[in-house]
Amino acid sequence: MADAVEIIKTDFVIVGAGSAGCTLAGRLSEDAGTSVTLLEAGGPDRNPWIHIPIGYGKTIVDPRLNWRYETEKGAEIANRPMYWARGKVLGGSSSINGLLYIRGQARDYDQWRQLGNAGWSYEDVLPYFRKAEDQENGADAYHGSGGPLRVSNLKERNPLCDAFIDSAVEAGIPRTEDFNGASQEGVGYYQITTRNARRCSAAVAYLKPAKRRPNLRIVTHALAERILFDGRRAVGVVFERAGRRTTVRARREVILSGGSINSPQLLLLSGVGTAGELSELGISPVHDLPGVGENLQDHYGAIITYKSRLPLTVNDIMRSPLRQVQAGLQYMLFRTGPLTISAAQVGAFARSGPHVETPDIQFLFQTFSHDEYDAGLHKFSGFANVVCPVRPESRGRLALRSADPKDTPLMQPNYLAAETDRRVLVEAMKLSRRVAEKAAIAAHIVAEYAPGPAVRTDDELLAYARETGLSIAHQVGTCKMGNDPMAVVDSALKVHGVDGLRVVDASIMPTLVSGNTNAPTIMIAEKAADMIRGKAA
C-alpha cells in the first residue's frame, strides 16, 4: 500500500458517520467559517432497504452495510459467541437499526451526574433531546418540533399489538401513550424515527441538509488507521481508501464518533490505552489510559415465541407472493401497510418486582418470529416478545487482537455474569408469560413455540435464555465519561491526558440507559456540538 501522500487540512476531523458523527458534522458545519471533514468506513446510504422501515430485517445482516461483528464465547451464555450488528454506512447503526425512539429514564442521566459528570443530569440533557426532535404529535415540556430527527407514530396497527397491550394492562402494567414523557413506565405503541414512512436516520436528518455546504467534506470507504499525535496533542488522522493512505490534518480537534467498538479500537491502535498491552503488540504508547475498552455494556434479551391462531403476522405475508405484492403496492402508493413497521411495534417498560423503583424490564413485541437473524422467518404464523433487563450490571471489555486496523478487536461482553441480570431476565420471562395468559392475546395463541410449555422452573427458563438469548445491539461504555482512574473522557468529552481529542458517541456512557440507544447518542452529539461551538449552558 502506498504511504500517505495526500494531505487534507480541516478544522475538525470526525471519524465515523453514525448517529453521533452525522449529528456533529451537521451542527459544526452550520458555522460557515468552520471546515469539517467526516470519515466513514462504509459507503453511501443508497441501498433502498435502508429507507423502507421493514428493510431492517435485511440491513441487520447485510455485510455491505454492516460490520457483522462476533464476540468471544461467553461462559454464562452456553459458551456461545454473539452476533453484533453495527452499521458500516452513512448513518451508521441509525441506518440499519429497528427504528425505535426511546430516550431512557431520568434516573439514567441523573446517575451520570452523580458519578461526577457535571452538565449531564436529566434536566441538563432534556433540552438536547427536544432540540433534535421533530415530534409528529407536536411540542410540549418533553418534546420538540422542527428539529432534524422526525419522530412518528406507527402507520400500521396489527390486531395482535392491541391484544398484547390489553393483556399487559390486565396483567398490571399501566397503559402509556408516551415512553419518553414524564414517566417511561407502561405498555403501548413505540414511536419510530421515520418521515413519511421512510427511515429518518442521522444521515437523512443531519447530513442530507448539510452535504452541499462547501465547508463540509464527506469521505466514504475511508478506514481510519491511526490518530496522529504531536507529542500529546492529536493533530490528525491517517485513513486508507482504495489502497491509498491519506492524512487529514485537524487545526482544531480530532473527534472520534466510531461507536463503542471502533472508537476504543482507534484509540488503542494510536497508542492511547493500557501501555503494557499496547507495547506487547508493538504499538508505541502515547498515553497510559487503562479505561480504554473497559466498562463494556449491552442489553441481552430472551425471545418468547408463539404460534398464531390467525394469519396476521409478517411470517404470513412473506409466505404469500400475492400478499407481498399487495404490501409493496400499498407502501408505494399510500406509504402504509406492513412495510412501514419497525423491529418492534409495541413494547413495555415494567418492574421485575414491587421493590423496584423504576422499570428494569423492557418488552419488544414483534408481529413476526424467527430463530436466528440469518435464518429467515418461521414458516408458521408466529409472533414473539423479546424481553430484557434494561440496567445490566455485567461488564465486559474490548481489546486489540493485533496492531492491524483491519483486524476485528476482541470483544467479551460477559453477558449474564452478574446475578442480578440473571434474576431480572427470568422475572421478565415470567411476566411475559403472565401477559400471554390474559384473554385478549391468549385468544390468538395456539401454543408457546419457544421455550415451550415443558420449560417451567426458574432454572429451566435461565438455561433457555443462556442457550438462545441475543444482543439487543446497545453496546456502550468503552470510552467512559468520568473523573475516576478508569474514565477515558471528561464531562466535556475530552480524552484525559491528551489535547485536541474528543470522543462523541455511545461509548462515553458511564452506564447503559434504560432502553434503546439511538436517541441518547444523538442527544450526546447535539450537546457536544454546543460545547465545541462554545454555546453550552
Give the rounded percent of residues in the chain with a pLDDT score beyond 70: 99
Q: How far does CA 302 lie from the centroid of its chain? A: 18
d(CA 291, CA 495): 11
Q: Which three cell numbers stand for residue 2?
A: 502506498
Which stretches of 314-381 are assigned E, i.e. beta strand? Answer: 346-350, 361-366
Asked if pLDDT for residue 105 goes beyond 60, the answer is yes
Residue of 429, 37, 459, 400 whose CA lies nearest to 216: 37
Looking at per-residue confidence, does 156 or 385 come out higher?
Answer: 385
- Percent residues over pLDDT 90 in the chain: 97
> Is 474 considered catalytic here?
yes
Q: What is the pLDDT of residue 376?
A: 86
> CA 149 to CA 202: how far, in whole Å?
7
Q: How far apart are CA 364 and CA 384, in angstroms?
A: 8
Distance of alpha carbon 348 from alpha carbon 296, whole angstroms: 25
Q: Which of 319-333, 386-400, 415-429, 475-489 has the lowest mean pLDDT?
A: 319-333
The pLDDT mean for the chain works out to 97
Domains and CATH numbers, the chain: 2-532 (3.50.50.60)
- Which amino acid appears at position 314 of this protein? V
Give phi and psi for 478, each to the nearest 5.
-80, -5
pLDDT at 371: 86
List 253's β-bridge partners, or say none.
12
Which tens digits make up the pLDDT trace of 45-79? 999 999 999 999 999 999 999 999 999 999 999 99
Mean pLDDT of the region 464-489:
98
Q: Please, which residues have CB within 8 angstroms of residue 442's CB and are 6 or more apart in sequence?
A: 167, 436
- Name the residue among 12, 314, 363, 16 with its Cα closest to residue 173: 363
pLDDT tens, position by position, 115-136: 999 999 999 999 999 999 999 9
Nearest Cα to Cα of residue 113 among 122, 102, 105: 122
Q: What CA–CA distances, in Å, run from 502 to 17, 43, 49, 235, 420? A: 15, 24, 33, 12, 33
pLDDT tier at 535, thresholds 50, 70, 90 = confident
pLDDT at 3 over 90: no
What pLDDT, in 10s, does the model give residues 338-390? 999 999 999 999 999 999 999 999 999 999 999 877 778 999 999 999 999 99
Which segments are annotated as binding site for FAD? Answer: 89
518 CA to centre of own chain: 5
Q: What is the mean pLDDT of residues 165-183?
A: 98
pLDDT classification of 2: cutoffs 50, 70, 90: low
C-beta pairs of 485-493 under 8 Å, 24+ apart in sequence = 485/290, 485/291, 486/290, 486/291, 486/294, 486/295, 487/291, 488/264, 488/267, 488/289, 488/291, 488/292, 491/116, 491/117, 491/118, 491/119, 491/120, 492/531, 493/524, 493/528, 493/531
Q: Which of 143, 287, 444, 474 is catalytic?
A: 474
Nearest residue to 340 (alpha-carbon basis) of 151, 509, 500, 156: 156
Annotated binding site: 89
